[in-house]
């Protein structure tokens, strides 16, 4: 009986080991769209953006195919756990709270966050005195949401949106006094928009780390250590051979 139990346990361990070392021909990435310039659709409907191009380059370096599964941000980690996709590459900030749920790759991008207001706004510096009673926009469930809710939730009206585009629409309609976004996203959607007339107020924000984490990482299920390792190796190679810089400069105008 003990021998039979030992064989059974050994078999279970081998199965678990096989699952851990699974070879992927295709990796499916969960991605929240739109979040320009990180991930968005072209007028023809094709997915593009910094995350998409870098993800495709990483897969090419590893020698596998990429597939992109569009998933709203609110359900993006549950979707990973439910195996709707194999990993998340969607501008997800690495922080301790998320580390409890997922395994992160090495950071591949570290963006600052920034405050954006209409060009004619009288808000010249974000602070409790200047934001009291104001309508502030954030994307629901993001680190910016956490930061604004904790810092200004008691003195301002925090409006949460499913997408950055929805937030921008309310900004353009005058229903928001300020928004707090990743700077690259705010630059693309507000500062660089044809009809936009906006400005950044205050300094770029990357601290405290308890909110803003250690940059963006690819999120995997915790058991997929081998897969995460392959992407870390591929990322290091792309940074060494210049491919990373080429993709970065395409979206961020050579400014690091």
pLDDT tens for the 256 residues of the chain, in order = 333 333 344 444 434 443 344 578 999 999 999 888 899 999 999 999 999 999 999 999 999 999 999 999 999 999 999 999 999 999 998 988 999 999 999 999 988 999 999 999 999 999 999 999 999 999 998 999 999 999 999 999 999 998 888 998 999 999 999 999 999 889 888 998 877 799 999 999 988 988 988 899 999 999 999 999 999 999 999 999 999 999 998 888 644 3
Report pLDDT for 22: 58
Report pLDDT for 166: 92
Report pLDDT for 92: 94
Superfamily designation of domain 113-211: Periplasmic binding protein-like II (3.40.190.10)
Tokens of 82: 């439910």
Report pLDDT for 139: 93
Which sequence spans correspond to the domains of the chain? Answer: 26-110+214-252, 113-211
- Return d(Cα 77, Cα 219) in angstroms, integer: 9
- Cβ–Cβ under 8 Å, residues 123 and 178: yes
26-110+214-252 placed in CATH 3.30.9.100? no
Domains 26-110+214-252 and 113-211 share a fold: yes
Burial class (CB in 10 A: 0-12, 13-18, 19+), 149: middle
- Please state the φ and ψ torsions of residue 65, each to the nearest 5 degrees: -95, 150
């Amino acid at each position: 009986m003990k021998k039979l139990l030992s064989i059974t346990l050994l078999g279970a361990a081998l199965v678990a080991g096989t699952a851990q070392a699974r070879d992927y021909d295709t990796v499916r990435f969960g991605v929240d769209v739109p979040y320009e310039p990180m991930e968005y659709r072209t007028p023809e409907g094709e997915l593009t953006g910094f995350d998409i191009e870098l993800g495709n380059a990483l897969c090419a370096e590893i020698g596998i195919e990429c597939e992109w599964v569009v998933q709203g941000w609110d359900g993006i980690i549950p979707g990973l756990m439910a195996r709707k996709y194999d990993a998340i590459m969607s501008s997800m900030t690495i922080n301790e709270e998320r580390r409890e749920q997922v395994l992160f790759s090495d950071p591949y991008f570290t963006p600052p966050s920034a405050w954006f207001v209409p060009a004619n706004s009288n808000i010249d510096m974000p602070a409790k005195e200047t934001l009291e009673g104001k309508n502030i926009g954030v994307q629901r469930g993001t680190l910016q949401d956490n930061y604004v809710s904790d810092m200004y939730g008691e003195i301002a009206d925090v409006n949460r949106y499913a997408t950055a585009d929805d937030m921008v629409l309310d900004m353009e309609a005058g229903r928001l006094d300020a928004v707090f976004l990743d700077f690259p996203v705010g630059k693309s959607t507000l500062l660089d928009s044809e009809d936009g007339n906006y400005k950044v107020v205050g300094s770029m924000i990357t601290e405290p780390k308890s909110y803003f984490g250690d940059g963006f990482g690819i999120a995997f299920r915790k058991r997929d250590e081998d897969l995460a390792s392959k992407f870390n190796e591929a990322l290091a190679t792309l940074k060494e051979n210049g491919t990373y810089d080429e993709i970065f400069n395409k979206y961020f105008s050579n400014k690091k």
